[in-house]
A and B are shown apart, each in its own frame.
Chain A
Amino acid sequence: MRIAIDILLGLGVFFILVGVLGVNRMPDVFGRLQASTCIATMGTISIVIAGILYAIANAGETVTYVKLAVLLLLVMGTNPISNHALCKAAYKMGVKPSKELAIDDYKEDDPE
């Protein structure tokens, strides 16, 4: 059990590191937003599962698991909305991508 918890925590930290590195290395706003999704998904999932396993191993109360699960649900529910809003707002404001987009259907069609 102890080993599983350690592996999950390590995975979570690794993916958070990947997210942070991505935010630093990506050349433009959109790429940075994409990389930051790693932190909110794999980072949170692994660390929350590790927390649940820790609570089970140490005979924690049921409240602990339920609250951790609700925490995961809230993070996963709110992250995509803010990400989508930021990405769309950056595009509409006219933020330039670092180089020409390979394909840009959004500009051609221009809904609304």
Chain B
Amino acid sequence: MQKPSKFLVWLSTFIFCFLFWLLLTWSVAARELILGGIVSAVVAAFSGRFLIHHQAFYLYNPVRLVILIFYCAIIFLWEVIKANLSMAKLVLSPKLKYEAGIIRVPGSEKIKSEYGLAMVSNCITLTPGTITMDVAEDEDGKNYYYVHWINVAESDREKAGEAIKGRMERWIGRIWK
């Protein structure tokens, strides 16, 4: 994959920083806008190359943004609620059933980029009961997540992967590749 030009990297990071600045200050006074522009330009010049590696404007796409918001607000929230309820049941039961293990689950074929991998592993970590410890790649370029699972219900790795991240991964595959 070819690297995007320096200017595009800077511009993309600049837009991101500036939108974040607008969210934080929430005013359109000229002073705030000019100050935000200067700060964002400096920050983007220094940090753009860490943030953007492939396509500079990949996420500035209405379809992807809508899917991202839908995913965060509905799918992810539902998974978090389910996991929280089972965690509450586990903690409040008089006899603590604790059968932990670290299991290697195969990642999806579609998700190859760093952003996608990072988002899947962060979503796994955010659901109580599972923590991603590492992501590794084998010789064929297939990705594996090492997940610490509090209650190993399934020792078959494919099925465990489906139980841990099945639906979340399918939705993230529509956002990142």
Contact = CB atoms under 8 A, between A and B. Distances in A.
Interface of A: 14-15, 18, 21-22, 25-28, 30-31, 33-35, 37-38, 40-42, 45, 62-63, 66-67, 70, 76-77, 79-81, 83-84, 87-88, 91, 97-98, 101-107, 109, 111-112
Interface residues of B, number: 40
Majority secondary structure, B binding face: mixed
B127 A18 contact: no
A98 B98 contact: yes
Interface in B84-127: 84, 87-88, 90-92, 96, 98-104, 121-123, 125-127
Contacts of B99: 102
Contacts of A14: 88
Nearest to B126: A80
B36 to A, nearest CB: 15
Given A42-B84, A63-B26, A66-B23, A37 B134 contact: no
Contact of A35 (B77, B80, B87, B155): B87
Contact of A38 (B23, B101, B103, B128): B128
Interface of B: 23-24, 26, 77, 80-81, 84, 87-88, 90-92, 96, 98-104, 121-123, 125-134, 136, 146, 148, 150, 152, 155, 157
